[in-house]
Amino acid sequence: MLRRAEIAVCWALGFGLLAQAFAAAADEREPISLPPEVKERFMTEMRGHMGNLDDILAALAEGDFAEAANVAEIHMDFGHSMWSTMMEQGMSAEQILAAKKQMRAKGMGMGQGQGQGMGHGMGQGMGRFMTEDFRSMGATFHEAATAFATRARQAASPPTAADYKETTEVLQAVTSTCRACHDSFRVE
């Protein structure tokens, strides 16, 4: 005969499994299935973007719009892995932005000069594991980060109230893309 503790454990396990099944059924977001090593890298990148947003807000609070723009351009724009690596290797933001400008002038950007199919889910990056809609949302995020950096660089020194308002409006395009992505997709 089962003891009370054993019965309680069975009930708890059963209830937990049932609750998990209901939670999974209620989550109607599109699942994105990634291999474990890609999932870990992807989730690390997403947490990094949360840190980037925090760094941008801190820079804006200090009135340092140039630093806010640097964070967006180096850590959130297309090619951010390469730009971030350059920073880790000791290059200044100015050096990275100059190299980036030079590469883009040569036609090296998303899907250009970085390997067959890059930016279209057929390259060697994480995008090859993701749906077209998911990749499109990512492209929108990177484009919004670039637009934010462009607007932040246009701010006066010291920034005016209009600079804060307009730059924050453009930053909201970045965060609304994050929100839309999290509302639409779940990584498995």
Percent of the chain clearing pLDDT 90 (strictly above): 71
pLDDT tens digits for range 101-112: 999 899 886 545
Q: 36-61 and 132-153 helices cross at what angle (nearest 10)? A: 20
Q: Name beta bridge partners: 30.
A: 185
- For residues 75 and 141, give the distance between their C-alpha atoms in angstroms, rounded to a whole number: 12
Are 93 and 70 in contact by the 8 Å Cβ rule? The answer is yes
pLDDT tens digits for range 129-178: 899 999 999 999 999 999 999 999 999 999 999 999 999 999 999 999 99
Q: What is the pLDDT of residue 54?
A: 98
Are 71 and 55 in contact by the 8 Å Cβ rule? The answer is yes
How many structural domains does the chain have?
1
- For residues 76 and 78, give the distance between their C-alpha atoms in angstroms, rounded to a whole number: 7
Across 118-148, b (16+ Cβ under 10 Å) vs e yields bbebeeebbbebbeeebbebbebbbbbbbeb
Q: What is the pLDDT of residue 120?
A: 53
In a domain, 4, yes or no: no
Q: What is the pLDDT of residue 13?
A: 72
In a domain, 183, yes or no: yes
Q: How far apart are the first and last CA of the chain?
A: 40
State the residue range of the domain holding 58: 32-187
**Which ranges in 129-160 belong to alpha helices (H)?**
132-153
Q: What is the pTM assigned to this prediction?
A: 0.80
Three-point CA angle 55, 59, 61, nearest 5°: 115
CATH number, domain at 80?
1.20.120
In a domain, 12, yes or no: no
In a domain, 81, yes or no: yes
Residue 116 pLDDT greater than 60, yes or no: no
Are 79 and 100 in contact by the 8 Å Cβ rule? The answer is yes
Residue 63 pLDDT greater than 90, yes or no: yes
In a domain, 10, yes or no: no
Question: Which comes out higher in pLDDT, residue 15 or 56?
Answer: 56
pLDDT tens digits for range 3-43: 776 776 667 677 776 667 666 568 999 999 999 999 999 99
Helix (H) or strand (E) holding 105: helix 93-105
In a domain, 11, yes or no: no
What are the strands, taking DSSP E only, across 21-143?
30-32
